[in-house]
Structure 1
Amino acid sequence: MSEMSEELAAILDLPKVELHTHYEGAAPPAFIRGLAQEKKVDLSKVFNSDGSYAFEGFVPFLRVYEAATTVLQTPEDFKRLGLAILEEAASNGVIYMESFVSPDFCGGGDVSAWREYLAAMVEAADEAERDFGIVSRGIVTCIRHEGPEQAKTAALCAAETVGDFITGFGMGGDENIGAQRDFKYSFDMAREAGLRLTTHAGEWRGPQEVREAIQDLGVERVGHGVRAAEDPALVDELAEKGIVLEICPGSNVALGAYPDWKSHPIDMLRRAGVKVTVSTDDPPFFHTTMRDEYLNLANTFGWDAAVFTDIAKASANAAFCDEATRQNILNKLET
């Protein structure tokens, strides 16, 4: 093995911290196909002939995503899903992972039903920590294209179940619909309940969307946020305020936000002093893993192990977890 390949292998084996994954979006295609067969649901249009998820572009991706989730119908389904995604993440060296979970997919926003689904996800998290050594937390998310009123039900579910596992609140969905400020009520409710805040912004809309997320919703982290790179003043503001960007390069390239890895602004943002993190978003949809993300970043930007370790530490410090858990993660990153 050459010196370079040994160095690259060491990078790929580093312990990793992931802050931006979608619970349902991390479902392996084979898992979803298996559930569809069990429940006799026709999802043939969801998959390509090779078994991968079939879509081109962001809005078709959202449609396929939501179609795939229709087979996730019971708390037990979500427990099985949780074990599958946590085992896969752990196999890629992830020692801590946060996932976005939506009550819209877990009981339709009813708090009582949500509690049952949540209990199943907590069981999966506990078993995965015991069996795979991975620690996980959940961030309740409202869905932007479902509108502000529906978002209030997600915020209520989050506020009613804040605790050891549910530690944050955020928003996903179609960024091109509505405005961040439309969801201020829900974010205020979550903040008052003690939840940490993040929101998807600046994946498709420009820098102003990131600025509005910070100003109107008061988030401390921004999902994606990469379009901020187009506004030098905003880049300086992000660096000065310590706003953390949950960046998912493989997702951005797969969906066409950037034509290739060399065009991606993550390295520029990092060099400008912005706190960047690395995640997979919806890994099987975008044919990626955390090892793949590390491999592409190392090959594209020449990042070495020290850079990746610094990013993992920054991710741990930005994690929505208690201080004891954070220190435990940081200790593992030092070994």
Structure 2
Amino acid sequence: MSLKSNPKLELHLHLEGAAPPAFIRGLAKEKHIDISGIFDARGGYAYTDFWHFLKIYEAATSVLQSPMDFHRLTLAVLEESAANGVIYTEMFISPDFCGGRDLGAWREYLHAMTEAAEQAERDLGITMRGIVTAIRHFGPDKARETARCAAETAGRFITGFGMGGDEKICEPKDFAWSFDMAREAGLGITVHAGEWRGPEHIRDTLTALRPSRLGHGVRAIEDLALVDELAEQGIVLEVCPGSNIVLGLYPDWRAHPIGQLYDRGVKVTVSTDDPPFFHTSMAREWDRLADALEWDDGVFQTLNRTALDAAFCDADTRATLAKTLEQAYAR
């Protein structure tokens, strides 16, 4: 039985990476931009490994050139998420792709995305919050500009600051200034770590940037002492199993360490990362985990409650979501 209709909370979703291929193709056609080389014969995104994926990602994003493009994209992504039972989502949004980190331009893009999110909440019942995201391989200087965009627009909609991109570029301490600025602005802190580098990188990230959440973090399993530390400190992992498997970190769903992390008391959540790139959805993630790990409704309810507790949202939003979950579980 599919878990598609069950309510779900998602904390790790890249807005541009969630763009349906058909949406990007249509936008490219409207703008007379030839990006046909980024698609495979079936119309999906085509890439060979994680680093090629980053190039294809940025090529797809190149057709998103105006606030209205991002308004349309936000609606398309939220519609897909809502169709998979998602009632709350936090999306990584990069000022790098929204006006080149210029604060004035960023405000215009942000206004367009906020309007789309409000429309989706009215029409689809899904709530969105934004996490401004620095791109690691663009370097520390650009991350500072991104952090300024985040700090200047922090509020009800922009509630977090994070960093994605090529984990092998630079060290966490190189970005400490940016994360300090975001923290001082009251933003929640999350960092991609423990995907392409191992346990020591996770430790360095926790020390230098002090996040409450880690994007991925799954390679902590290679150091059980670190796993226990994560559990003791209450660090929440935004785990994206389908992404990890497609990109070759683990051979299949049974081999993925999310079950071991959960059993050892780590606070784990489930997300899709860049779903069309990895041929997944929140419903598919839940279904595959239920099959591979024999997780029942109780486990998924725990995952939702963990996500709710870790969400970068205000108290009123959290209370509304808690009530929605309570009503759903009472049926």
> Shorter-chain TM-score: which interval?
over 0.9
Q: Shift of the alpha carbon at 1:170?
A: 0.4
Deviating more after overlay: 122-131 vs 255-264: 255-264
Pairing 1:157–2:149 present: yes
Q: Shift of the alpha carbon at 1:262?
A: 1.2
Matches within 5 A, 1:252-271: 252-271=244-263
Deviating more after overlay: 254-263 vs 160-169: 254-263
Q: Distance in 1 between matches of 2:84 and 2:51?
A: 29
Pairing 1:312–2:281 present: no
Matches within 5 A, 1:278-297: 278-297=270-289
2:92 partner SS:
strand
- For normalisation by structure 2, the TM-score amounts to 0.98
Matches within 5 A, 1:40-189: 40-189=32-181
Pairing 1:214–2:206 present: yes
1:199 partner SS:
strand
Which amino acid is 2:124 matched to? F
Q: Distance in 2 between matches of 1:21 and 1:27?
A: 11
Q: Shift of the alpha carbon at 1:334?
A: 1.4
Q: Shift of the alpha carbon at 1:210?
A: 1.1
Q: Shift of the alpha carbon at 1:205?
A: 0.3
What is aligned with 2:16? 24
- For normalisation by structure 1, the TM-score amounts to 0.97
Q: Distance in 1 between matches of 2:107 and 2:281?
A: 30
Q: Distance in 1 between matches of 2:59 and 2:5?
A: 34
Runs of 4+ residues deviating >6 angstroms: none
Q: Deviations over 1:200-243 (max 9, x none)?
A: 00001001111111111010000000000111111011000100
Segments of structure 2 that go 5 or more residues without pairing to the other structure are none
1:19 partner SS:
strand
What is aligned with 1:224? 216
Pairing 1:234–2:226 present: yes
Count of aligned pairs: 327
Q: Distance in 2 between matches of 1:96 and 1:62?
A: 26
Q: Deviations over 1:17-59 (max 9, x none)?
A: 0000001000000000000000000011110011000002100
Which amino acid is 2:100 matched to? G
Which amino acid is 1:252 matched to? N
Pairing 1:204–2:196 present: yes
2:290 partner SS:
helix
Which amino acid is 2:84 matched to? N
Matches within 5 A, 1:5-16: 8-9=1-2, 11-16=3-8
Q: Shift of the alpha carbon at 1:13?
A: 2.1
Q: Distance in 1 between matches of 2:187 and 2:303?
A: 24
Which amino acid is 2:232 matched to? E
Q: Distance in 1 between matches of 2:315 and 2:235?
A: 19
Segments of structure 1 that go 5 or more residues without pairing to the other structure are 1-7
2:254 partner SS:
helix
Which amino acid is 2:141 matched to? E
Q: Shift of the alpha carbon at 1:12?
A: 3.3
Q: Deviations over 1:105-130 (max 9, x none)?
A: 00000000000000000001000000
Could you tell me which of 308, 311, 319 is aligned with 1:327? 319
2:34 partner SS:
coil
